[in-house]
Amino acid sequence: MSAAIELRAVTKSFGNTEIIRGVDLAIPQGERHAIIGPNGAGKSTLFNLISGRYPLSRGDILLNGVSVSGLKPFEINRKGLSRSFQITNIFQRMSVFENVRCAVLWSLGYKYSFWHRLGGLKDANLQAEAVMESIGLKARRDTPAGVLSYAEQRALEIGITIAGGANVILLDEPTAGMSRTETADAVELIRKVTQGKTLIMVEHDMGVIFDIADKISVLVYGEVIASDIPANIRGNKAVQEAYLGTESH
């Protein structure tokens, strides 16, 4: 079985500056993989390359064994990859329910239909209700997303990401800016909704990472300097020097 995501010599330059410098990485199906690294290491850029937000400069990215480099975000999404954003990226003026339902429409095959009545789409409505239930926002069903609390918006962000049933999920700092209890809830939520899926996560909170991740890759100045199970990452000298030792969080 081919890897869920495979990066081959992925390189990205902005102008003359190389932000990602030849990253090779293979993440098998069903693995929960965390990417860590100091600020400016290129973690978010890496996510933007995988999800099609930015084009690659060189190299190739394979999703379930098929190259997706050069594809647009919606094409990659249709192939089963979905992502969340570090800065909350939801449909602010729509209700929680509408947010989630928009995220399930394509995967259920309704595409650009103007001959189906939304109210009559049983499968889409049920799936949207189920997602709201799992992210704990059922009580907020008809609230405009823009007026939710920060933690609720982060949960909705994850809800939109998983709603379409993608099997590869990318979460960009899902617990950033959260309190201790909110973080604990978020970890539970992430664990629950990514069951049986491949998860790739950028995160700063070491507690969260060691809690969730099966494997950790350390990105420093656009290069992966180590990729291993958490216990080995903790003991890795190069990692300690480059990252853990110098950063407090």
Contact residues: another protein, CB under 8 A: 51, 72-74, 77-78, 82-83, 85, 89-95, 98, 101-103, 105-107, 110-119, 121, 160, 163-164
Q: Side-chain half-sphere of 163: how many Cα atoms within 13 Å?
A: 33
Specify the residue, 97 or 243, whose C-beta has the smaller distance to another protein.
Answer: 97
Residue type, 245: G
The minimum distance between CB 243 and another protein, in angstroms, equals 29
Closest distance to another protein from the beta carbon of 39 (Å): 23
- What are the structure tokens assigned to 7, written together? 């990066």
- Tokens standing for residue 68: 């997706």
Within 10 angstroms of residue 56's Cβ, the number of other Cβ atoms is: 20
Q: Give start and end residues of each alpha helix (H) in 84-147.
A: 96-105, 122-134
**51 vs 69 by CB, closer to another protein:** 51
What span, in angstroms and rounded, lies between the C-alpha atoms of 84 and 63?
A: 17
- Shortest separation between residue 152's beta carbon and another protein, angstroms: 17
**What is the closest distance, in whole angstroms, from the C-beta atom of residue 154 to another protein in the complex?**
14
**Cβ neighbours of 177 (radius 10 Å):** 13
Helix (H, G, I), strand (E, B) or coil at 61: strand
Of residues 28 and 165, the one with the C-beta less far from another protein: 165
CB of 66 to another protein, least distance (A): 17
Question: Which of 145/186 has CB closer to another protein?
Answer: 145
Please say which residue, 85 or 243, places its beta carbon nearer to another protein: 85
DSSP state at residue 146: G
Our CB check for another protein shows the closer of 15 and 74 to be 74
Please state, in angstroms and rounded to a whole number, the distance separating the CA atoms of residues 37 and 18. 16
Nearest CA among 221, 159, 177 for reference residue 11: 221
In whole angstroms, what is the distance from residue 249 CA to residue 245 CA? Answer: 10
Q: How far is the CB of 192 from another protein (least distance, A)?
A: 21
